[in-house]
Structure 1
């Protein structure tokens, strides 16, 4: 059984169908990227995986536990979530925001300090530790929020567009962190718009459109010109260079 098991999940908001009969399994040690156009249902699926939205039908289990049976404290021990937008209304410092991920940890003080220092180092925010969170740029805030998620040390990591506000260097850095967590045995699910990042770092890709999964498999299997052109509604070229892939829109003169 995978750490995450999704079986025939559908989700509706009034008359609008957000997810339609989605099934997915993510095992320990996997990095799975969810891609697709705007409105495809990527964030809705992540909300269901996180336990933030209850499916209209179907079931979700986390480490063998029905998601709906887990209380907030139990959920926090099993999964850590980075949403698209994180709002901090008060002028907490960066160090204080990151430390929020340790709430209820019951770890020795020196171990908490190690986790905080390590998370801030790998996300390149240690030099911002004393800055007030609201004064940071969007990219800096995103990295601080990721550090907060990392210190939870949950075996399931759910990241919703973690690279959206970042420059190229930090995009690569974040994806290396996600890959490292998977290689350490965690189950990692990342929503991405950048198909090249998904191709470079994900072991498996789930392609969504209109709330449904239209393709899943390795990047080499699902990132084809035919699949991507149909899903995104524009001509997409996929260039293969040895084991690597480069995805780009087809430009015409």
Structure 2
């Protein structure tokens, strides 16, 4: 569903991405991880069609992203950026309903879609609240509900758990996992390596705008790889509950 081939991206004299290639298939959840400035959000912008690569290509469902008009892109992929700004006092229900804009879904299904999206992100009780009055975590969940309401087969999520408490982090990643199990193509930028280890089928580790490692969590989350990329000593523990990644603290 997502095919990235030799993508590079520059902004002025700065090289943001260099020769990035990978695929994400329907039914997969792929996590993109790496330190600050590694190129994770830039890569997601290219996948979404919001940034045009200097070289290389990106296709969604076999169609070049650059050939798709905005309405076509909206039906094919849904994007959750790091920051969502809503300047006017729209209610939560109105913000979530924005996900239906340009949709070809029958209007008779709209109420059901919105109800499911708000329930999945635990914001139904906030439906009548004005979006600007919400906490940062609540706004993040409302924005995710809008993305889910799009019902697009490709989900691109940029740090969807960053502002959330631990319960809602697990809930959001569970939603992403469920969408992949249902056959969608899900790509998530994460800083939390333990969430990536717990929920991702594959992990792409970015460093200085390039792919430093790519594979399953069991293959990628090795102390040597992570310590080199993040520039600090990192331990990886294998237990009954899965992988646990943590910085090595002095004794």
Q: 1:144-194 deviations in whole A, cap 9, x for unaligned?
A: 000000010000000000000000000000000000000000000000000
2:31 aligned to 22, 30, 33, which one?
Answer: 33
Among residues 145, 148, 151, which one is paired with 1:150 in the alignment? 148
What is the 5 A alignment of 1:166-185?
Answer: 166-185=164-183
Ranges in structure 1 where 5+ consecutive residues have no aligned partner: none
Residue 51 of structure 2: SS of its match in structure 1?
Answer: coil
Who is 2:237 aligned against? 239
Q: Who is 2:127 aligned against?
A: 129
Q: Give the distance between the partners of 1:126 and 1:33, measured in 2 at CA.
A: 28
Separation of aligned partners in 2, 1:107 and 1:208: 36
Structure 2 match to 1:52:
50
Q: Would you say the 8 A contact 2:75–2:102 is kept in 1?
A: no
How far apart, CA to CA, are the structure 2 residues paired with 1:100 and 1:242? 42
Alignment of 1:84-233 (within 5 A): 84-233=82-231
Quote the Cα distance in structure 1 between the aligned partners of 2:48 and 2:133: 29
How far the C-alpha of 1:105 sits from its partner, in A, is: 1.9
Q: Distance in 2 between matches of 1:22 and 1:105?
A: 31
CA–CA distance in 1 between the matches of 2:106 and 2:64?
Answer: 31
TM-score by length of 1: 0.98
Shift of 1:106: 3.9
The structural deviation recorded for 1:109 is 3.3
What does residue 13 of structure 2 align with?
15
Paired with 1:175 and 1:125, the residues of 2 have a C-alpha distance of 16
Shift of 1:242: 3.9
Computed over aligned residues only, the root mean square deviation of the Cα atoms, in angstroms, reads 0.8
Q: Deviations over 1:188-207 (max 9, x none)?
A: 00000000000000000000
List structure 1 segments (4+ residues) > 6 angstroms apart after TM superposition.
Answer: none
* Deviation of 1:24 (Å): 1.2
* Mapped partners of 1:140, 1:243: distance in 2: 29
Cα shift readout 1:120-151 (whole Å, capped 9, x = no counterpart): 00100000000000000000000000000001
Hey, what's the Cα distance between the residues in 2 that align with 1:222 and 1:202? 12
Q: Distance in 1 between matches of 2:93 and 2:119?
A: 12
Stretches of structure 2 that go unaligned for 5 or more consecutive residues are none
